[in-house]
Amino acid sequence: MRFLIPLLLLAQPLSAQERVQLTGEVIDTWCYFSGVMGGPDSVVGSAHHTCALWCSAGGIPVGLLAPDGQVYMVLKMAGDATTNGGDTNLHVASHTLDVDGMLYRRDGLNYIVVETVTADQDIINATHEDFGVIPGFAIPEDEAAR
């Protein structure tokens, strides 16, 4: 028995994994989880797109927000592991994507390695119609004069 336990532990994968196909919006996880800018509905989609660009370029992790409210922390996007401010994540900020990849769970968070983006629906969540822009200073005032 004593020898079986180490063998069983060695036989475990690094972490349980599962192949998934899901649809989700690429979100800025800090604003979404913290509520620093407002409620969850206001920090997604077009209303929050400029802030999502800032946060993605600033190295805040992006997540995929599925229609059921589950958030998947992105560890690779279309095979690109440059998740600290990388171009791949920046280009799809606020986009709704259909993806195929591997799902991992640990300590209450979902993590996803996106192997393939099977469809990019662009930005379809027109939240600016309800919220304007979040934060309010996302668009500089001098844009009005241009």
* Contacts (CB under 8 A) with other proteins, residues 61-80: 61, 69-71, 73, 75-76
Cis peptide before 135 (omega within 30 of 0): yes
Query: Whose Cβ is closer to other proteins: residue 81's or residue 119's?
Result: 81
Number of residues located near other proteins, criterion CB under 8 A: 65
Touching other proteins, residues 8-27 (CB under 8 A): 14-15, 17
DSSP per-residue letters across 32-59: HHH-TTS-GGGSSTGGGHHHHHHHHHTT
Smallest distance, Å, CB 70 to other proteins? 6
Alpha-carbon gap, residue 18 to 41, rounded angstroms: 29
Place of tokens 């927000």: 65
Q: How many other β-carbons are positioned within 10 Å of the β-carbon of residue 48?
A: 30
Cα gap 131→74, rounded to integer Å: 26
Shortest separation between residue 98's beta carbon and other proteins, angstroms: 18
What residues line the site for other proteins (CB under 8 A)?
1-2, 5, 14-15, 17, 29-30, 32-36, 40, 46-47, 49-51, 53-55, 57-61, 69-71, 73, 75-76, 81-87, 90-91, 93-94, 102, 104, 106-111, 113, 123, 126, 128, 132-133, 138-144
